[in-house]
Amino acid sequence: MQFGVGIAAGVEHRKLPELMSIAWDKAENSTRGYLETQFNCCGYYNSTDRAWLEGCPPVSVLNATIVGCQEAMFAQAAKLVYAVGSAGIVVTLLEIFALIVTIALIVRIHKIQHKYSQISQDDPVALLR
């Protein structure tokens, strides 16, 4: 299951911009304001696109450098998606390694038990020596 989560996170990251735009539309104004403050941005794509903060000036020819929150939010979300995906794959690899070690131990224990059962059948006193 973790492997599936890891692969899905890597594959589905392309849908992030669309999902984030929907989330921006559904977000409360306080949430938008918080994100605009944290990422130092205005609006989603730019200051004329669904901005909330009163201090966001409109985009003009002189002030065309105001960036929207979409890029900063996408970068942050992409980091998290890749972290979740990587964690899922690492956990899966650890589980496979643990399974291999467990099987090796079971085989080793079985061989030791078989060896001692042969010794006890041949010479029961040999186990006490």
Q: Compute the distance between CA of residue 24 and CA of residue 70 in angstroms, rounded to an integer.
A: 9
Q: Residue 98 — pLDDT band, cuts 50, 70, 90?
A: very high
Q: Compute the distance between CA of residue 94 and CA of residue 89 in angstroms, rounded to an integer.
A: 9
State percent of the chain over pLDDT 70: 67
Q: Residue 100 — pLDDT band, cuts 50, 70, 90?
A: very high
pLDDT at 109 exceeding the cut of 80: yes
Q: Compute the distance between CA of residue 68 and CA of residue 30 in angstroms, rounded to an integer.
A: 16
87 with 6: CB under 8 angstroms? yes
Give me the amino acid identity at 6.
Answer: G
Give me the amino acid identity at 112.
Answer: I
Half-sphere exposure for 23 (CA within 13 Å, toward CB): 14
Find the length of the chain: 129
In angstroms, what CA-CA distances link 53 with 10, 42, 46, 71? 33, 7, 12, 18
pLDDT in tens, 32-54: 888 888 888 888 877 777 766 66
Tell me if residue 66 falls in helix, strand or coil.
coil
Q: What is the mean pLDDT of residues 18-28?
A: 83
Q: Give the residue among 105, 109, 115, 24 at the shortest CA–CA distance from 72.
A: 24
